[in-house]
Structure 1
């Protein structure tokens, strides 16, 4: 991810952090350990989607206790990304986020 965006990209560090969090969630919670990361660039924005084999659990934003050692991944995504969401179907789950300034029209959500 860092190499794709380049050292000078304004969203590089945030994109790397949030992608790492979603990839970690995919490995911990999804059926199997395979996942696919997709990246798109549009009008000053970066859109990242992490697709996995699905889970019995719905991606849920939690606010864990300060002493908890896990459960902050989606909280970070929620706090840093301009938008985020997920889509589930029988093939798996896609969790996506967008970094950057929104334009006048809302883009279609990654699937």
Structure 2
């Protein structure tokens, strides 16, 4: 199986998150994932959360990497990795009510098919995988319809 890997160095500035999203969107299209595919919006949200966490919580530069056709599921898997130079492990938090922070890893856990992290050198690598063939939504279940501003707005299917 052939794997396509692309990567972007991200500065320690929160403004870099927008640049990472634009870069990732162009790479998704270049890999054959259309802007109109639901998986594209899911991947952009995951990238936004992981890059934001790396930049905001560590204050360090990071490297964003996307691998197409790599993963445990099949050739339709997209793997996103963000490495940084902070040895501090990711700390999932639970946001309450009106909190404006603390939902990032909960979103990653809810949207990715798999995710995790491991130490790498003096820092760490946080990764997630999304299978392009999403399971069908059962009748009566909720399906995400918008990922604007890093939130999921469900509606009845």
TM-score by length of 1: 0.80
1:30-51 Cα offsets, whole Å, 9 max, x none, are 252x110111111111000000
Counterpart of 1:21 in structure 2 is: 49
Tell me the TM-score normalised to structure 2 length. 0.58
Deviations 1:52-82 (A, max 9, x none): 11143x2122221121110111010000000
- Trace 1:91-110 onto structure 2 (pairs within 5 A): 91-100=122-131
8 Å CA contact 2:67, 2:80 repeated in 1: yes
Conservation of the 8 A alpha-carbon contact between 2:114 and 2:129: yes
Match of 1:40 among 52, 58, 67: 67
Indicate yes or no: 2:117 matched with 1:86: yes
Unaligned runs of 5+ in 2: 1-23, 30-34, 70-74, 134-157
- In structure 1, the partner of 2:26 is 3
Q: Secondary structure at the residue paired with 2:99? A: coil
Query: How many residues end up aligned between the 2 structures?
Result: 100
1:83 Cα shift? 0.2
CA distance in 2, matches of 1:8, 1:52: 31
Is contact 1:29–1:55 with CA below 8 Å preserved after alignment? Answer: no
The one of the two structures with greater contact order (alpha-carbon pairs below 8 A, sep at least 6) is 1
Give the structure 1 partner of residue 40 of structure 2.
12
Q: CA deviation at 1:98?
A: 0.2
CA distance in 1: counterparts of 2:126 and 2:117, whole angstroms: 4
Please show how residues 61-72 of structure 1 align to structure 2 within 5 Å.
61-72=92-103
